[in-house]
A and B are shown apart, each in its own frame.
With several copies, the nearest count.
Chain A
């Protein structure tokens, strides 16, 4: 059974500390891939002050756990971690951290890539982008659907 650790964080996410902890526990497996997503201060030239991520306590964590479990099984991964912010996340702050450890380099890459694609569209989160000239809910784009589609190929 894979070691899966998922946390939804309403206040803060420290990717450096998460990476350190994950490497300390699972680095010995040989290959560790980590992805960090940070809120950008501008999206298509429009200033973003913060994201607000609405969440459904219980269901959100379960949806992220399900994604990690599928990834662990599909790519034969020994350890996976997902850390996702919710509530208000200011520009420049980390919003998501995902890592995978395996004895196979390729599997670790694919598992993280896969989890990120699924988190975009299948984690029970609702993202709102707020700035001086904007305040709107983000919905998955055609690109997101395309990214997800990659994984249904044989």
Chain B
């Protein structure tokens, strides 16, 4: 199972902060998970992390991974 978390503008757009997804037999990549969650491809400002490390490309996900989708940071 994969833990998918959402923050900032992405959480608001999806109307949820967290969901859990089983890894299908054929495997699951980061970008296919993003597509499956309906996180718009047109929004270039969606950032992604796997196990709290920001990732910009695609990669295979594994059972137990924590994946997050979020808008650009703004602190301070």
Q: Which residues of A contact B (CB under 8 A)?
A: 37, 53-56, 58-59, 62-63, 84, 95-96, 116, 119-128, 137-140
Say whether B74 contacts A127, CB under 8 Å.
Answer: yes
Return chain A residues, CB-CB under 8 Å to B8: 54, 126, 128, 137
Q: A29 CA to B11 CA in the complex, in Å?
A: 31
Docked-complex contact A125 and B11, CB < 8 angstroms: no
Task: Contact check, B7 vs A120: say whether CB atoms are below 8 A apart.
Answer: no
Q: Tell me which residues across on chain A come within 8 A of B12, comparing CB atoms.
A: 137
Q: Which of B7, B45, B76 is in CB contact (< 8 Å) with A116?
A: B76
Instruction: Check A56/B68 contact, CB under 8 A, given A123-B76, A126-B7, A137-B8.
Output: yes
Q: Select B75's contact among A53, A58, A62, A128, beta carbons within 8 Å.
A: A53
Chain A contacts for B76, CB-based, 8 A:
37, 84, 95-96, 116, 119-120, 123
A-B contact count (CB 8 A): 67
Q: Does B74 lie within 8 Å of A56, measured CB to CB?
A: no
Q: How far is the CB of A111 from chain B (nearest CB, A)?
A: 15
- Of the four ranges (under 10, 10 to 19, 20 to 34, 35 or more), the interface on chain B belongs to 10 to 19
Contacts of A53 in B (CB 8 A): 75
A86 and B45 CA atoms in complex are apart in Å by: 22
**Residue positions of B touching A, CB distance < 8 A:** 5, 7-9, 11-12, 45, 49, 52, 68, 70-76
19 CB-based A-B contacts, threshold 8 Å: A54-B7, A54-B8, A56-B7, A58-B52, A59-B49, A59-B52, A59-B68, A63-B73, A84-B76, A121-B73, A121-B74, A124-B75, A126-B8, A126-B70, A128-B8, A137-B74, A139-B45, A139-B74, A140-B74
B49:A119 contact, CB within 8 angstroms: no
Can you name the residue of chain A whose Cβ is closest to the Cβ of B5? A56
